[in-house]
Each structure stands twice: as structure tokens, then as C-alpha cells.
Amino acid sequence: MRHPLGVLSGLLLAAVVLAVLLAPVLSAHDPGVSSLRDAFEGPAAGHPLGFDSAGRDVLARLLYGGRNTLGGALIALVVALLLGVPAGLVAGYYGGWFDSAASWLVNLVMALPAMVVLLASRAILGSDVWVLMVVLGFLVAPSFYRLVRGIVANVRRELYIDAARVSGLSDARIMARHVLVVVRAPIIIQVALVAGIAIGLQAGLEFLGIGSGDAPTWGAMLNEAFKNIQRAPMLMLWPGLALGLTSGALVLLAAGLRDLLEDRGTASAPTRETAAATVRAPATGDRAAAGTVGAPAAGDRAELLSVHDLAVSYASGEVVHGVDLDVRAGEIVGLVGESGSGKTQTAFSILGILPEGGRVSRGSITIGGKEIVGLPEREHRALRGTIVAYVPQEPMSNLDPAFTVGHQLVEPLRYKLGLSRAAARRRALDLLSLVEITDPRRTFGSYPHEISGGMAQRVLIAGAMSCEPALLIADEPTTALDVRVQTEVLDLLRRLQRERDLGVLLVTHNLGVVADLCDRVAVMRAGRIVETGAAEHVLSAPQDPCTRKLLAAVLPLEVA
């Protein structure tokens, strides 16, 4: 019921299907029996929709025609599914020569104009609509193939697939039990879309007079009505309405299914992924224990963030490798490294906002004890702002120039907290005061280009703190600012952390900032944590060459 359009479209589609299945019950007349004396007559007793140009009952032809039209679309769907889905599974799972050959054939079929092929098929195979729908199924099978192959190709290297192989399962069972689960949701959505296409193409053929003669179909009814549109224009209404409502219901149902499945997510794959990562946890834990120096005891403070064996991958390969990281309430942890070391990718993984193509390929991320790897987007959105918040770098680029500062602060407050416009405005002004903006009302009514970079960064911090998060991720929050403003922003972060017992993950390349602000530090290089420990210990006795290099870049400035 959270997706009313999807529910209504599903009910409408069910009503259409039920009506055509119960055609003998709903209409006592034979759709092929004609009475010329009744031609073009309007509604009469027992004939609520009247008669067509041959004196045949319009309601009977509409119901029985729905059987033929929907049945033809079903044939096309079954053929497409039987050809496209298994081929996509095999090609995506095994790759190799079959993948190359199947992809070549699919590209060839997709290059063919569907209507031209159907017209040629009609000339060769005859006008039987069922035969033409088999041909149409062959033409739309590539859409299922490409969808399934793309997903399976990304899934086949997951750890839970390797674990299934090691356990002795056959490839066929792995594809049926593990891989097919991942692709079933997109297949359901694709079925709804392809069904609408099949109905439209079939009706188009029948409308052009390329069909099964006098057999009732919605397209044939449109053809007959169009020929007599000047005498009986209402004959166009009923088949057109049936086609429009059915096709529209399919599209809306597909959209509703997409939204529902995106919100609910498919927990199967991430759960197995996490389980597979857990099998290797002892080695990960040993490495973490060996590399951690001076970390507070687990019982000292509540653990807000725990990252274990995190890996982030793209099509080009893995960019973050086995990262372990913890942030507790009331402490600031610095995540330090050169540009391209994987700091921001790690932060984006925690926030669930990896760029397109990026994914958490293994590992675990818990926020407040809740596992977020594989979490449905709806639930992940609920965490952002209220539990974990984000302060980006380059503040001017992260404010929409088309809206005032006040508007950009008020909207999240109304959406996340359900505040009225007046209450959200008051809270936004309080937040601007909290981040030490001297004239909150003026800033509230200003556009981003009317405020300075330092003030814009304060606005972003105010927005991040608006819903009272427990964990704040600050990604290079002072990079675009001058030295004086950097100091003010760092002092502000320190004050907020102290007053609110806030856990902060500070992503930076500057060990000088770490020395000024952080309790603990983790140093990254090439996607890995190379050194971690208390900030004082790491800065006074760095062990890794990367840490010494970063420290050397700061020390000359401090000496000067």
C-alpha cells in the first residue's frame, strides 16, 4: 500500500485478465455470429456496448479478443524468457566462447527492425497471429539476455559463489539457487515492460490488417472501427481503451515493482557475501589486532562505526582492499592518505553513496551495531542525516545555486523530522547560530554565491548537524579554505564533537590537521590501511614510509 499506483495498476490488470478469462460468463453471445440488420446499432438489452459493422456483439468481441491479444503477448513472453534468461545465465556465469557467440547473435537480432521482420514472417509463415508472436518472442529475447548476463557477470566473482563451489555444489545448482535469486527482481520488471511492447506490436499488426482474418483481437477491432470511423466513431473507444488501460497498467506496475524491490532490496546476495567474509574473519581480526596501537578499549565508549575487511570494487578492479576501521562515540578518528589512496571510497561505502559501478565486494560495515552492507536503499536513506551525516569538501560546489541557504536547510528538516515550515525555519536559524554565523537571518536568505567559502562550509556543517546525528563523516572539510578559516572550521568541529559526544571520521591528506584534532589515526596507501593507532603515537613514531612522507610534508611548514 506504500505504492498506490502500483497497487491500482495491479488491480486493474487483474480485472482485465479476469474479465477475458470469464468471457463466456460475462457475455452469452458468440463473437463471430453476425446479424446484418443490427449493424452499427447502439446498446440494447443483452448488448451493453452495441454492435459493430457486421452486427456482431462488441462486448463479446472485446472479451474474446482480449483472450487472443493477451494470449499472443503471453506466447511472446514465454519464448523470450526461455531463450533469453538461460542463455544470459550461462553466458554471464561461464563467459568464454559461448558468451562471445551469444553476444554476437544478440547484437545481430537487436539490429533488425522488429516490424519489418514480422511483416516478412507473415509473408513466409502465414498470417496466424500465434506464429507471429513466436517470432516476436525471438526478437525480444535479447533484452532478457543482456539484462541477465550483465548482472550475472558482476555476481559470479562474489565470495559466496566461491564458497558454494568449495562446498561441492554443481554449477547448475549454483546458478539455480544462488545466481538466479539475484536476477529475478529485474526479470519481473522486464516482463511487465516487454508484455506492453508485445501487446502494442501485436495490435499494430492487426490494425494494419496483418493478422488471423476474422479472429477477434483488439487490434482487429481497431482496424474495423477505423474503416467506419465516420459512421460509428464509438467503435474506436472500446478496443482503444482496453489497449491503453492494459499497457498503462503494465508500465505503472513495472514502476511500482521497481520502487518496491529497490526499497526492500534483495538481502540474499549481501547476506551470503557477509557470511563468506565472516569465514575469513579470524585472519582479518589478527591483522587488525597486530596493526592497532594505542586504541581505546572497546568498553571505554560506545562503538558507532565498525568497518571490517572492507573491499570496494569497480569494473576495472578493486580499489579498496581489506580496510578495518572503528569510530567510537566522543572521539575523532583521522583517515589519512594521499590523493587516490581510497579514503573517499571508504567514506562513500559507509554512507552507501558509491559512484555508479562501485560496490562493496566484501566485508562488513556496522553503524550503531546495524549491518549496512546490502541494506535496502530505503533503510540506508533513513540512516543518513539522523544517524550518520556527511560534510563534503569544496563547499561552494555542494550548495545548489538555484536555492537560498535557508531553503536548503529547511527542506531536509521537513522531510526527515516532519517539522512544519515555521518550526523548520526556527531550527535552521538556530543551527546557523550554532555554527557561529554572526548574522543567521541574512545568511538564511542568501544564495550560495552571496556568501564566502568559509561561511558555506559552516552552512554544510549546520546541515549535517540538523538531525542530531551520532556519527559525522567529514571529507577534507578544510581543503578549499584559507588557513585562518581552516582553523575556525576545525575549532567548530572540535566544539561540536565535545558538546554532543559526537563520533567523527575526518578524511584528510593533512597530518597537521590530524595532530590538531584527532584522537586516533589510520593511514591509507593504495587502498589499504598501512598504519593505525593513537594520533600522538603515530605522529611521534611513524612506522610506515607513507606516514613519514605525509609527516615530512607538514613539518617544514610548522618549522617555518
Report the DSSP pairing between strands 317-328 and 503-508: unpaired
| CA-angle at 487, arms to 484 and 493, nearest 5° | 145
64 and 82 Cβ atoms separated by less than 8 Å: no
Q: Any alpha helices (H) in 45-128, and if so which ranges? A: 58-94, 96-110, 114-125
Per-position DSSP letters for 463-481, written without gaps between them:
HHHTT--SEEEEESTTTTS
Angle formed by the axes of helices 114-125 and 129-155, nearest 10°: 140
CB proximity list for 306: less than 8 A, separation 6 or greater: 325, 326, 364, 365, 366
- The 10s digit of each residue's pLDDT in 227-255 is 888 888 888 888 888 888 888 888 788 77
pLDDT classification of 442: cutoffs 50, 70, 90: very high
Q: Which residues pair with 454 in a beta bridge?
A: none
- Give the separation between CA 469 and CA 387, rounded to whole angstroms: 4
Best-predicted range by mean pLDDT (25-29, 142-146, 178-182, 235-239): 142-146
pLDDT at 558: 43
Tell me the average pLDDT across 33-41.
81
The top-scoring range by mean pLDDT among 193-207, 276-290, 470-484 is: 193-207
| Pairing mode, strands 303-314 and 359-367 | antiparallel
Q: How far is CA 202 from the centre of its chain?
A: 32
In the block, cell 443490427 appears at 38
In this predicted structure, what is the pLDDT of residue 390? 84
Residue 464 confidence class, pLDDT cut points 50, 70, 90: confident
Look at the alpha carbons of 146, 148, 151, 156 in this order and tell me if their dihedral is positive or negative. Answer: negative
Secondary-structure breakdown of the chain: helix, strand, coil percentages, each rounded to the nearest 5: 60, 15, 25
DSSP summary character for residue 225 = H
pLDDT band (50, 70, 90) for residue 2: low
Angle (nearest 5°) at CA 415 between 414 and 420: 25
Instruction: For residues 167 and 173, give the distance between their C-alpha atoms in angstroms, rounded to a whole number.
Output: 12
- Rg over alpha carbons for the chain, rounded to the nearest Å, is 32
The DSSP bridge pattern shows strands 520-525 and 528-534 to be antiparallel
Give the model's pLDDT for residue 87: 92
Q: What is the pLDDT of residue 291?
A: 35
Average the pLDDT over 166-181 and give the result: 66
Least confident window among 115-129, 305-319, 436-450, 461-475: 115-129
Distances 119 to 75, 122, 135, 136 between C-alpha atoms, Å:
18, 5, 11, 11
Q: Taking 50 as the threshold, does the pLDDT of residue 275 lie above it?
A: no
Which residues neighbour 343 within 8 Å (Cβ) at sequence distance 6 or greater? 335, 336, 337, 475, 507, 508, 509, 524
| Single-letter code of the amino acid located at 351 | L
The pLDDT of residue 214 is 65
User: Does residue 152 come out as left (phi exceeding 0), alpha (psi in the -120 to 50 range) or beta?
Assistant: alpha
388-391 and 520-525 beta bridge pairing: unpaired
* pLDDT over 80 (residue 5): no
Residue 296's pLDDT is 37
Which residue ranges form the domains of the chain, and what is each CATH number? 66-269 (1.10.3720.10), 300-376+503-560 (3.40.50.300)
What CA–CA distances, in Å, run from 510 to 473, 478, 486, 495, 530? 16, 10, 12, 20, 16
> Does the structure show a pLDDT above 80 at 557?
no
Distance CA 138, CA 131 (A): 11
Q: Transcribe 369-385 into DSSP letters.
A: TEE-TT--HHHHHHHBT
pLDDT at 81: 92
CA dihedral 425, 427, 432, 435 (to 10 degrees): -170
272 has pLDDT over 60: no
- How confident is the model at residue 429, as a pLDDT? 92
Distance (Å, whole) CA 522 – CA 505: 10
Largest distance between two CA atoms of the chain? 107
Res 278: pLDDT: 32
pTM score of the predicted model: 0.48
The grid coordinates of residue 185 equal 527482481
Residue 83: pLDDT above 90?
yes
The one-letter amino acid code at 80 reads: A
